[in-house]
Amino acid sequence: MKTAVLIALLILTGITGFAQSGYQIKVTLKPYNKGYLYLGHHFGSRQYIIDSAAINANSEAIFTGKEKLFGGVYMVIFPQKNGWFEMLIDKQQHFSVSADTTDIIGKTVFVNSSDNAQFQEYQKIAQEKGKTVAALQKRLKENPGSPDSTKWKTQMTALNNEMQNYREAFMKAHPNHLLTAIFHTLQEPQVPEAAQHPGGKYDSLFAYQYYKQHYWDGVSFTDERLIRTPVFEPKLQRYFNNVLQQQPDTLSKAADKILDASESNKEMFKFLLSTLTEKYINPAYMGQDAVFVNLFERYYAPGKADYWMSEKYRKAVFDRAYSVMANLIGETAADLNMVDSSGKPTPLYSIKAPYVVICFWDPTCGHCQKEVPQLDSLYQYKWKKQGVRVYGVMTDGGKEAWLKFIREHNLKGWTHVYQLPKVREAEYASNKPGYKQLYDVYQTPVLYLLDKDKKIIAKKLNHEQLDELLQIKLKGGAQ
């Protein structure tokens, strides 16, 4: 029962039971008669073990605790941690369950848990119809062009409709049930047919906007039970990865809307903010660190996350924010107080060109030793003719190694610079951010592309990606 489909389906919920304190769950799991069973739960995309209980000779184990468990989808994990079965925990936290690993679905029985009795009913129906659909799909695959194909497809559609009708009836009858919350989370928006689009014809923009606007229908961002299910975080990730356009402003507005809706529930707010922070603090795509800066300015800086942040987490978030804020795409780059190899002051802003490539590098860095000569080849054979200048900043490695590398690799035409130690010390003494913080340079090489006004066009691309972008800019005359 470890497939994604079964994990998503094996879930039920919330009918108020007696006012008992803590939790006590008796599990009889055959054929085990020694070792330990483990109690775990989902938490976003992860699973955590929270309790263990010894198994007696009668295959029994009892999980017990003084504090009630948070609502969600829990797992009884086998002694070797090589399998599990799932159950719902919500209001009812004093019950027993008997199961057999030879047939988890067919031989599992819950006592004093109407939530899980409903879970069993739904699970059996889903399994039965699922097997029939799988058999029909196999027939279609093995018999392409069969005269019965239409009949099989009609049967599959009917079975899927029956399951949809079952879920809709359940949601209507049990609006506060955790299974209802799960169904809402799993539900896909049904875009109106083409005849209902503007003008009576299919409109892809209308379809997209409708899908996006109805993506979260029925989902409550204050229902913290969803955190401990396997379905909520995948829906969240898909929304930000695939549904929304990947512009930082669009992503930030969507994040704000969801976070503001969740703020009255501390657990949900904490989960959403930490998940989105993890996603955008070091984003997969250039420029999306602006989403993290927005999270920082709107929620972290005003203290809205102080109630759950550790000092270590707080430092990591604040340090990262200050490293990113100064070098967002579209912002004006900070000037660099550098000198050339002869000690002559050569700040960044002294370079006049339609485009400037800044290369932060270390002659002793293995990656730099490969990347810098390739960057130079592009400069010598293409960029120089196009009016592009390269401003090379030696970050570490020592002046002697730096000059030797420049000579041996014939890096001509670059503006080669480094920072004098006394300048670095003066910045530190006056509590000013150094260039490594201003440009987020904590590994090398790091490349930036600036326009004629020293605004940041791109950052942290490799030389090939940078060249592709440069040629697009030069061809289109974009500044």
| Cα dihedral across residues 389, 395, 400, 404: positive or negative | negative
Q: Where does the pLDDT of residue 477 fall: very low under 50, low under 70, confident under 90, or very high at 90 and above? A: low
The answer, yes or no, to whether residue 17 has pLDDT greater than 90, is no
> Which 3 state secondary structure label does DSSP give 427?
helix
Tell me, what amino acid is at 391? Y
Assigned token pair, 126: 């889903």
pLDDT over 90, % of the chain = 89
Q: Tens of pLDDT along 363-391?
A: 999 999 999 999 999 999 999 999 999 99
Exposed e or buried b per residue across 311-340, where buried means at least 16 C-beta atoms within 10 angstroms of its C-beta: eeeeeebeebbebbbbbebeeebbebbbee
State the pLDDT at residue 478.
46
Q: Where does the pLDDT of residue 123 fall: very low under 50, low under 70, confident under 90, or very high at 90 and above? A: confident
The answer, yes or no, to whether residue 16 has pLDDT greater than 50, is no
The answer, yes or no, to whether residue 313 has pLDDT greater than 90, is yes
Q: Tens of pLDDT along 210-260?
A: 999 999 999 999 999 999 999 999 999 999 999 999 999 999 999 999 999
The answer, yes or no, to whether residue 8 has pLDDT greater than 50, is no
Q: Tens of pLDDT along 142-153?
A: 998 899 999 999
Instruction: List C-alpha distances in Å: 209 to 127, 148, 203, 249, 254.
Output: 34, 38, 10, 17, 14
Residue 455's closest CA among 382, 358, 315? Answer: 358
State the pLDDT at residue 21.
87
State the pLDDT at residue 476.
76
State the pLDDT at residue 120.
86
Average pLDDT, the chain: 92
Instruction: List C-alpha distances in Å: 326 to 335, 428, 452.
Output: 11, 17, 18
Report the C-alpha gap between 402 and 23 in whole angstroms. 66
Number of residues assigned to the chain:
479
The mean per-residue pLDDT over the stretch 58-72 comes to 96
The answer, yes or no, to whether residue 2 has pLDDT greater than 90, is no
DSSP 328-358: -TTSBPPP---B-TTS-B--GGG---SEEEE
The mean per-residue pLDDT over the stretch 395-421 comes to 95
State the pLDDT at residue 105.
85
User: Considering the entire predicted model, what is its pTM?
Assistant: 0.86
Convert 111-140 into a string of H (helix), E (strand) and C (coil): ECCHHHHHHHHHHHHHHHHHHHHHHHHHHH
Neighbours of 60 (CB within 10 A): 18
Q: Tens of pLDDT along 284-301?
A: 999 999 999 999 999 999
Q: Where does the pLDDT of residue 272 fall: very low under 50, low under 70, confident under 90, or very high at 90 and above? A: very high
**Which domains does the chain show, CATH number per domain?**
4-121 (2.60.40.1120), 194-327 (no CATH), 348-476 (3.40.30.10)
State the pLDDT at residue 388.
96
Residue 123's closest CA among 112, 107, 143? Answer: 107
The mean per-residue pLDDT over the stretch 294-312 comes to 96
The answer, yes or no, to whether residue 64 has pLDDT greater than 60, is yes
The mean per-residue pLDDT over the stretch 159-172 comes to 94
Q: Where does the pLDDT of residue 40 fall: very low under 50, low under 70, confident under 90, or very high at 90 and above? A: very high
Q: Where does the pLDDT of residue 19 fall: very low under 50, low under 70, confident under 90, or very high at 90 and above? A: low
The mean per-residue pLDDT over the stretch 18-34 comes to 89
State the pLDDT at residue 22.
95
Q: Tens of pLDDT along 185-215?
A: 999 999 999 999 998 999 999 999 999 999 9
> Which 3 state secondary structure label does DSSP give 53?
strand
The answer, yes or no, to whether residue 12 has pLDDT greater than 50, is no
Q: Tens of pLDDT along 327-336?
A: 999 999 999 9
HSE-up of residue 178 (Cα within 13 Å, Cβ side) = 34
Residue 123's closest CA among 175, 228, 115? Answer: 115
